Each structure stands twice: as C-alpha cells, then as structure tokens.
Amino acid sequence: MKSFFSSRLASFRYAFHGWRYALRTQQNVWIHTGAASAVLIVGLWLKLPARDWAALALTMAMVFAAEFLNTSIEAVVDLVSPDHHPLAKIAKDVGAAAVLVAALAAILVGLLILGPPLWAKLNLAFFK
C-alpha cells in the first residue's frame, strides 16, 4: 500500500514538472494563463453562480489540456524526426489546430457566460 501512494505522489510530481516546463517554454501557455486570470477576476467581480464557474473551469481546463498535449506532440515529433518531414509537419499542425479549436470554444463560452452580466454592469456604471 505504501508503494501505491508513493507512486501516486511521483505521478503528481511528474505532472507538475510538465506543467512547469510548459510555462517556461511555451509562450501560448502564458497567453492562456493571462486570459484565464482575466476571466477569473471578471467572474469574481460579477459574482457568477456555481454552474457558470463549472463551465468556465471545464473550458479553461480544455484549453490547457490541448496546449499541453500539443507541446508533448511537438516534443515527440522533434525527437523522432529531427529533420523536416511532411508527416512531422502534419502532426504539429494538427496539434496546433486542436489548441485553436479549444481556444475559440473558450472564447465563445466566455462571451456567452461573461457577456450579458458584464454588459449589464457596465451599462449601469456608464449609462445611468
């Protein structure tokens, strides 16, 4: 039982190492982190209900997961195909497309959830 828990702890350590690697090396992760931070701040300011937080959390997790998977795809492709190869390009391009789809979906979800209450609050503040 002790080895089970120590191996689970090691798994978490490896995952956080990967997260730290992505933060250090991938500029898009910084963009996603900034966007997620802005959403969190605006959501707190708007006092969103729990179901909206759940949708935002899942959406943000989807974007980060896609970015992390894309980073791992790029690393593996670079490892097995250091020279330019058409299939390596396809793998990298499709991984990047997955991140794009996730990010566009996140923007849509963010607009649908944050848009109406933010618009109402701004209207009250500026157009009394």
Residue 53 CB-density burial (10 A; 0-12 exposed, 13-18 middle, 19+ buried): middle
Q: Which among 67, 99, 102, 113 is annotated as catalytic? A: 67
77, 103, 100, 101: which is closest to 90 by C-alpha? 77
Q: How far apart are CA 90 and CA 57, in angstroms?
A: 30
Q: Check if 67 is active-site.
A: yes
Instruction: Return the half-sphere exposure (C-beta side, CA atoms, 13 A cut-off) of residue 34.
Output: 5
Q: How far apart are CA 44 and CA 24, in angstroms?
A: 28
Catalytic residues: 67
